[in-house]
Amino acid sequence: MATSSTSIAGRVVDWLRAGYPAGVPRQDYVALLGILRRKCTDLEVHQISADLVGLARQGEVITTADVERLINEATLDEASPADVARVSSHLAAGGWPLADAPRG
């Protein structure tokens, strides 16, 4: 019986259970990890940015590490420099630059 998950991790687990009801065979691990590796969608960039702005409004300082952590949580993948740059740019455009952003 499939569950209805809203988190990315829950949706991935539901997808794996539906596709591999007897468990994932060892030879499919690499292929599945390749499928899961992707870039942030625009929706994810907006959600991550909103989460970070929420932290900033509570007095927290937003850092690159915060951006990387939230991208990792949202995508089940290590944050790429391009994803960090996209989220950082989105934040800066809204008036919330990173505390540790390089000055140009």
pLDDT in tens, 40-76: 777 888 888 888 888 888 888 888 888 888 887 777 6
pLDDT at 52: 86
Instruction: State whether 18 and 44 are in the same domain.
Output: no
Total number of domains in the chain = 2
pLDDT at 84 exceeding the cut of 60: yes
Q: What's the mean pLDDT in 12-29?
A: 73
Q: Are residues 57 and 22 in the same domain?
A: no
| Residue 52 sits in the same domain as residue 31 | no
Q: How far apart are CA 104 and CA 101, in angstroms?
A: 9
DSSP string, the chain: ------SHHHHHHHHHHHH-TT---GGGHHHHHHHH--PPPHHHHHHHHHHHHHHHHTTPPP-HHHHHHHHHHHHSSPPPHHHHHHHHHHHHHTT---TTPPP-
Tell which wins on pLDDT, 86 or 33: 86
Amino acid 66: pLDDT:
86
Whether the predicted pLDDT of 32 surpasses 80 = no
